[in-house]
Each structure stands twice: as structure tokens, then as C-alpha cells.
Structure 1
Amino acid sequence: MKLEDCAILVLASGLSRRFGSANKLLANLSGRPLADHIAQWIETTPIGQKFVVVPHGEEMLAEIFTGRGFTILENSNPDAGQGASLAMGVKAITQTLSPAGIFVALADMPFVQPDTFLRLAATIGNANLAIATDAKRTIPPALFAKTLFPALIALTGDQGAKQILGAHGPIARLPVDAEQLRDIDTPTDLGAGK
């Protein structure tokens, strides 16, 4: 699958309860907001269309992604969970575009490298889904083929795409270094691994 024929959806509307009262995606990581790291990596890829789901009213967060060429999708109900956020994003994308696949990435994963998206596209083959794994966990980033768009749009709750793993096979798993797949959940995580 060619990256140019795909869209990407970054999920950036989580509630970050373990981080405290501040929006973790605006926290400083190496001199820049946390969310800017994944946005920058994606900006350097040839992925055709770039989208991000942000909470309604989060203008500073939206500006980070707008500055990197993303289309903003506002989530007026972040409490509905990651699955609902993913469904909303995929529905919005497919109402105006017909991509061959949709990448899904999380804004709190600042260490994912651009070549991972290229490798996912090369890995998917005849599978419905290509997803990263560090041998312990199977987690985003992931690339969903068009056949899974209806299942993504039907998602609800906080489980994200985990609800459809295994139910709509086959799945291609891409080994990725664990450091790339490290996410930021607490203020302590910002300093870990430096």
C-alpha cells in the first residue's frame, strides 16, 4: 500500500487522568510540546492526508497540528472514550475521502519514527490490518485497510481498536523497538529513558 494513497488519524483527545490536571500533550518534552513530536514525524512522511482528533476548545493543541499540515477534527465528547474518538475520526475522513487505508497513531507516543509508517504499509499485504508490536504488546501505530472502516466507525467506549483485533483478520504484526512504542502517561514518563 502506498503512503500517498492513505490518510492518517492521530488521536489527541484523551483525558490524561494519570497525568494530573494539565493537558499532557502540551507538556514540555525536549523543549517542545509533547504532541509536536508525533506531529513532526508524521509531517515528514508522504502520507496523503493528515487528520487529528482534539478536544473541543483546545486551541493551543489544535495549533500545533495545524502548523504541521493536519486537518483538525474537534471532539465535543472526549469522555466517550478512545473508541468513540476513533470512530468519529474515521467517519469524518471517509465522508470526504476514499483512502486505501487509514493509519492510526496516538499523540502521546513521541518516539515513533517515520519509517515505521512506511514499514507498516509494506507489511500489510493482503491483511486487513498491520499493527506494531514490541513482542509484549500489540499497539498503535497501525494501518487499517478499507475493509475495516465500517468496523472502526462502529466502535464505542474506551477500548479503541482492541475491540476488533482478531475479529476481522488477518492481521500483520510489525516488530518495532520498544522505545519507539513508549507512551507518556505520567509526568515521570517525560524524563524516563533520556
Structure 2
Amino acid sequence: MKTGIIILAAGESSRLGYPKQIARYKDKTLLQYAIDAANGSKADKKVLVLGAFKDEIKKTFPGASIPNIPNPNWKEGMSSTLIKGLEYLQKINPVDQVIIMLCDQPFVDAKLINKLIATQAKTGKGIIASGYSKTFGVPILFGKAYFEELMSLTGDEGAKKIAAAHEDDVEIVPFPKGKTDVDTEADLRDLNL
């Protein structure tokens, strides 16, 4: 099974007031944590999709460290960024499953990504989600059977909508720290305490 990772990093972080991708936690940017987790994992292919502030963000990480592509339609919402990443992964050497990640969850690491992959191999389920705060979400793995549905998302619809519609095919990997994400300056302050 070939696994791909899409890091969604195209949003404009309107609530934070500057690109959250370059916000710092300890000694790294939030985006660098996501890149390190993807690169350290057993996934076969990775892509980082940028949009708003892409030139500014690109200066903060070594470009060769991860394939990165622009989403010129990032204003159309998160779904357009996901679709761009999936199209890229499927172009030359298609993957059998894809993990969707954001760049604002600093506690996501390679171990968690590998656990999603291993849980899929063990259970055979089509969707493996991270579980936190009595719900589930990203990082989330989707098997090929769901690619068409992912490609038909619009606006700010996230992949969670698809997972919720197929709960019988979802396996949850507990990830309590998944509830920590950064949307505001206060979130960042709390994180750095």
C-alpha cells in the first residue's frame, strides 16, 4: 500500500493576523513541525500545498525538504487545497491511501502518522482518524475508495464530512493532544507556556 501525505497550508490565518504557518513554537515554525512529521514517517509520497503568503512562507523552510505546490484558488476554501494536493499525488505514481494533515497541530509527529498507517493495515478500514475531545479529525487517512468523494468537496468543507458519512468504515487512533491547534494569538501563548 502506497501512502501519500497532503499538508494543507494555504489559508490566510485571518484570526491570527499573520500566517500561522510561520508562527513559532519552541524552536520551530508550526509548518516545520508538520514537514518533519511527514518526512519522518513511513509515507511514500508527500506534498505541501501553499496559497496565501506562499512566498513569505517558502523562505522559512528548505524548499528541497518537501515537494510543495501552490494553490492559486486557495480563496475557494480548504477543499480546493485538498483537491490540488490529491491531484498532485495521483499524477505520476498514484498512491493507495492519503493522509490529510494541517500545519497548526504542533503535537502531530511521525509516530502518530505511522500509527495511522499501521492501524489501517491491521483493521483494513477505509478511514483512520485521530480521536480527541470526544470527536475525531485530522490527521486522517482515507483509502482510495474515498478519493472521488474527496475530489468532490467544495468551499470550506473538510474531509471530516466524508468520514462522518461512513462511520462504519472509520477506525479511531487516540490522539488527546490533537485538540491543540493554533488559530489565535492566545492559542499560541497558551502553547508556549
TM, length-normalised to structure 1 = 0.88
Rounded to whole Å, the distance in 1 between the matches of 2:124 and 2:184 is 38
Residue 110 of structure 1 corresponds to which residue in structure 2?
Answer: 106
Identity over aligned pairs, percent:
27
Query: CA shift at 1:89, angstroms?
Result: 1.3
Indicate which of 8, 12, 19 corresponds to 2:9: 12
Q: 1:135 to 1:23 in 2, by over 3 A?
A: closer
Residue 176 of structure 1 corresponds to which residue in structure 2?
Answer: 175
* Mapped contact 2:40–2:110 kept (Cα < 8 A): yes
Q: How does 1:13-92 map to 2 (within 5 A)?
A: 13-20=10-17, 22-55=18-51, 58-64=54-60, 66-67=62-63, 69-92=65-88
* Mapped contact 1:127–1:172 kept (Cα < 8 A): yes
Q: Output the amino acid matched with 1:165.
A: A
* Mapped contact 2:42–2:114 kept (Cα < 8 A): no
Name which of structure 1's ranges 36-45 and 55-64 shifts more when overlaid on structure 2.
Answer: 55-64
Indicate which of 154, 158, 161 corresponds to 2:159: 161
Q: Structure 1 regions of 5+ residues with no counterpart?
A: none
Aligned length in residues: 189
Aligned residue for 2:190, secondary structure, equals coil
Rounded to whole Å, the distance in 2 between the matches of 1:57 and 1:181 is 26
Q: Output the amino acid matched with 2:4.
A: A
Q: How far does the alpha carbon of each residue in 1:42-66 deviate from its partner, in whole angstroms, 9 at most, with x for none? A: 2222311110110166124235455
Runs of 4+ in 1 over 6 A off after TM superposition: none
Aligned residue for 1:18, secondary structure, equals coil
Q: 1:190 to 1:57 in 2, by over 3 A?
A: closer
Q: 1:62 to 1:170 in 2, by over 3 A?
A: same
Rounded to whole Å, the distance in 1 between the matches of 2:96 and 2:151 is 16
Q: Structure 2 regions of 5+ residues with no counterpart?
A: none
Q: Output the amino acid matched with 1:11.
A: L
Q: 1:57 to 1:128 in 2, by over 3 A?
A: same
* Mapped contact 1:113–1:180 kept (Cα < 8 A): no
Rounded to whole Å, the distance in 1 between the matches of 2:187 and 2:53 is 26
**Structure with greater helix share of residues:** 2
Q: CA RMSD for the aligned pairs?
A: 1.9
TM, length-normalised to structure 2 = 0.88
Residue 183 of structure 2 corresponds to which residue in structure 1?
Answer: 185
Rounded to whole Å, the distance in 2 between the matches of 1:105 and 1:147 is 19
Rounded to whole Å, the distance in 1 between the matches of 2:33 and 2:133 is 24
Q: 1:167 to 1:138 in 2, by over 3 A?
A: same
Residue 149 of structure 2 corresponds to which residue in structure 1?
Answer: 151
Q: Output the amino acid matched with 1:113.
A: D
* Mapped contact 1:56–1:74 kept (Cα < 8 A): no
